[in-house]
């Protein structure tokens, strides 16, 4: 039971054979990470769609073509010296470090060697100039047991991938295909599986065009399938489109269910706080520290969270808030991958407040911040919500503090009370809640109603007339209901 593959990406061996889309299966129970399994409780959302339907869509076509054996990976990082593709907020060494981390996330994968190689022509099929490419090819072929080469770029074109594989004699991966494979091995819920399947469609479509173009050169791509009235390419495109529509339909059903769950939370008037950040920055650890939720099991692993989960916590005033744990972000990923997770990330746009967690001990912390903020802007987050962001510097136990930010250590639970006070202050500001003192008749249901519908901070000054002054945090809507119900002026 590990990830397995059919060795043929597309069965285009002859012009007369009926082709099929790749049917390589990849067992999720088999895909293993260097950590314990973590099951997210999302039952109220998951019951909406049949498990067999999801598995059929999830296992139907897989573009990566990664075999089940352990992988010995050679990493190549193209260091672009100038131009629009140069990365200015990081270094080639740090980018290589992240690439190594991605490979090491997968069980039974190891990095056998790595190289940073300068290039002036990253857009060319071979990426590097003739001399550098020849030297690189000789180096890769000289290392025994290399099973894959990871080229640390956003996305290789199908023609570039094909040429590199022919030159090096092993599977070639880019960031898109490697991260998708990590996602596949980490997917537990129906929604995660559907969103990953949707993200794979552009890769499948692109590679289909390339395969058919190659077949056309042999005179077979434009032939009609017997009795169908369709060419090979048309049939493959239709099958892909049908699969895409099925996935989108299933995601839409989950989206409607998620909308219903959000409406129920809003009706109960719980403030929603989304916790976001770069992958492995400590979001889940922070939520566990803020809520005391023993069910949360943070992992020191990239993309440990692929689903939105909601966890209740209390602020110093005893106000209940809901913390939303979200998928972590990563630099240099195509927009299609983020777009595929729009159903999950839609919850963020309906939040009252965003906490941006930064691993301040990380050498790329500035670059990571820019990447997260760019993704948030691309998600069309409302301006008011963007302005509400509380930036939290996590892992302060690993370096000197900075008095200008909210420094915490989620692991050691340092600075959490200050953070909770800041969250409470922001929640009151951005939700339109009011802090007020109400005179309440103790021989009426007023106080019990306030405990249920608002946040009662203090009850004092009980007088001989059976009244008390009650300090509450209450929304305008709840205060309106209170006045109407108890005829308070």
Instruction: Out of 8-12, 39-43, 414-418, pick the least confident.
Output: 8-12
In this structure, are 226 and 79 located in the same domain? yes
Where is the binding site for GTP, in residues?
A: 277-284, 303-307, 325-328, 394-397, 409-411
Is the pLDDT at 308 greater than 90, yes or no? Answer: no
Do residues 451 and 318 make contact, with C-beta atoms less than 8 angstroms apart?
Answer: no
In this structure, are 250 and 348 located in the same domain? no
pLDDT, tens digit, 9 for 90 and up, residues 54-68? 676 666 656 555 665
Strand 467-474 relative to strand 434-441, pairing: antiparallel
Mean predicted confidence (pLDDT) in 191-215 = 76
For position 456, which CATH number holds?
3.30.70
What is residue 486's DSSP assignment?
Answer: H
**382 confidence band (pLDDT: 50, 70, 90):** confident
Is 441 or 396 the better-scoring residue by pLDDT?
A: 441
Is the pLDDT at 104 greater than 80, yes or no? Answer: yes
| pLDDT computed for residue 20 by the predictor | 37
Q: Is the dihedral of CA 412, 417, 418, 424 positive or negative?
A: positive
In this structure, are 262 and 354 located in the same domain? no
In this structure, are 392 and 289 located in the same domain? yes
What is residue 457's DSSP assignment?
Answer: E
For position 386, which CATH number holds?
3.40.50.300
Domain endpoint, select from 267, 285, 301: 267
In this structure, are 260 and 282 located in the same domain? no
User: Cα–Cα distance between 27 and 24 in angstroms, integer?
Assistant: 10
Highest mean pLDDT among 42-51, 176-185, 339-348, 350-359: 350-359
Is the pLDDT at 218 greater than 70, yes or no? Answer: no
What proportion of the chain, given as a percentage, has pLDDT over 90?
A: 23
pLDDT, tens digit, 9 for 90 and up, residues 245-256? 988 888 888 778
Is 464 or 215 the better-scoring residue by pLDDT?
A: 464
How remote is the C-alpha of 182 from its chain's centroid? 11
Where is the binding site, in residues?
A: 277-284, 303-307, 325-328, 394-397, 409-411
Number of Cα atoms under 13 Å in the Cβ half of residue 324:
27
pLDDT, tens digit, 9 for 90 and up, residues 170-181? 999 999 889 888
| pLDDT computed for residue 229 by the predictor | 64
**313 confidence band (pLDDT: 50, 70, 90):** very high
Strand partners, 117: 78
Is the pLDDT at 301 greater than 90, yes or no? Answer: no
Mean predicted confidence (pLDDT) in 346-361 = 88
Is the pLDDT at 202 greater than 50, yes or no? Answer: yes
Where is the binding site for Mg(2+), in residues?
A: 284, 305
The closest alpha carbon to 306, from 4, 52, 113, 38, belongs to 38
| pLDDT computed for residue 142 by the predictor | 94
How remote is the C-alpha of 259 from its chain's centroid? 19
pLDDT, tens digit, 9 for 90 and up, residues 58-100? 666 565 556 656 889 999 999 987 766 677 778 889 999 999 9
**49 confidence band (pLDDT: 50, 70, 90):** low
Domain endpoint, select from 247, 267, 287: 267
| pLDDT computed for residue 137 by the predictor | 96
| pLDDT computed for residue 210 by the predictor | 67
In this structure, are 151 and 261 located in the same domain? yes
In this structure, are 41 and 188 located in the same domain? yes
**390 confidence band (pLDDT: 50, 70, 90):** very high
Number of domains in the chain: 3
Is 177 or 36 the better-scoring residue by pLDDT?
A: 177
CB-neighbour burial class of residue 162 (10 A; exposed 0-12, middle 13-18, buried 19+): middle
In this structure, are 1 and 133 located in the same domain? yes
The closest alpha carbon to 274, from 299, 303, 308, belongs to 308
Is 40 or 328 the better-scoring residue by pLDDT?
A: 328
Can you give the pTM of this predicted structure?
Answer: 0.71
DSSP letters of 349-379? Answer: HT-SEEEEEEETTSTTHHHHHHHHHHHHHHT
| pLDDT computed for residue 62 by the predictor | 60
In this structure, are 378 and 439 located in the same domain? no
Q: In a 3-state reduction of DSSP, which class is residue 475?
A: coil
Domain endpoint, select from 219, 245, 267: 267
- Domain ranges, residue 164: 1-267
Question: Chain-wide mean pLDDT for the chain?
Answer: 78
In this structure, are 109 and 31 located in the same domain? yes
In this structure, are 357 and 307 located in the same domain? yes
In this structure, are 154 and 15 located in the same domain? yes
Q: In a 3-state reduction of DSSP, which class is residue 269?
A: coil
For position 148, which CATH number holds?
3.40.50.11060
């Amino acid at each position: 039971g590990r990830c397995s593959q059919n060795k043929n990406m597309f069965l285009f061996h002859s012009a007369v054979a009926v082709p099929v889309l790749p049917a390589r299966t990849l067992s999720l129970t088999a895909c293993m990470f260097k950590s314990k399994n973590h099951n997210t409780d999302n039952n109220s959302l998951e019951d909406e769609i049949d498990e067999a339907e999801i598995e059929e869509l999830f296992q139907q076509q897989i573009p990566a073509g990664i075999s089940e054996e352990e992988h010995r990976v050679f990493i190549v990082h193209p260091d672009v010296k100038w131009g629009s593709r140069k990365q200015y907020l990081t270094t080639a060494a740090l980018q290589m470090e992240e690439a190594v981390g991605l490979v090491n996330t997968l069980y039974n994968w190891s990095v056998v060697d790595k190289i940073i190689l300068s290039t002036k022509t990253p857009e060319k099929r071979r990426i590097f100039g003739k001399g550098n490419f020849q030297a690189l090819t000789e180096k890769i072929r000289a290392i025994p047991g290399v099973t894959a080469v990871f080229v640390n770029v956003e996305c290789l074109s199908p023609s570039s991938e094909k040429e590199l594989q022919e030159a090096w004699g092993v599977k070639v991966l880019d960031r898109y295909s490697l991260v998708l494979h990590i996602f596949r091995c980490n997917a537990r819920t129906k929604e995660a599986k559907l969103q990953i399947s949707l993200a794979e469609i552009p890769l499948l479509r692109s590679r289909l065009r390339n395969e058919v173009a190659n077949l056309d050169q042999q005179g077979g791509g434009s032939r009609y399938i017997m009795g169908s009235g369709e060419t090979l390419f048309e049939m493959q495109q239709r099958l892909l489109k049908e699969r895409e529509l099925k996935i989108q339909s299933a995601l839409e059903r989950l989206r409607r269910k998620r909308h219903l769950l959000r409406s129920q939370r809003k009706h109960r008037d719980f403030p929603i706080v989304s916790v976001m950040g770069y992958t492995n920055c400590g979001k889940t650890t922070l939520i566990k520290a803020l809520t005391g939720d023993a069910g949360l099991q943070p992992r020191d692993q990239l993309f440990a969270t692929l689903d939105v989960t909601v966890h209740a916590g209390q602020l110093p005033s005893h106000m209940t808030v809901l913390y939303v744990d979200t998928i972590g972000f990563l630099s240099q990923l195509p927009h299609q991958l983020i777009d595929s997770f729009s159903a999950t990330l839609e919850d963020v746009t309906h939040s009252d407040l965003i906490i941006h967690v930064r691993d301040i001990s990380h050498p790329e912390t500035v670059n990571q911040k820019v990447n997260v903020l760019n993704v948030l802007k691309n998600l069309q987050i409302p301006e008011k919500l963007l302005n509400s962001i509380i930036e939290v510097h996590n892992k302060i136990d690993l370096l000197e503090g900075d008095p200008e930010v909210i420094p915490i250590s989620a692991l050691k639970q340092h600075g959490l009370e200050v953070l909770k006070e800041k969250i409470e202050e922001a929640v009151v500001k951005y939700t339109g809640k009011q802090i007020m003192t109400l005179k309440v008749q103790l021989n009426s249901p007023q106080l019990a109603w306030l405990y249920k519908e608002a946040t009662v901070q203090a009850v004092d000054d009980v007088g001989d007339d059976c009244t008390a002054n009650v300090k509450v945090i209450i929304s305008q809507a709840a205060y309106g209901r209170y006045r109407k119900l108890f005829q308070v002026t």
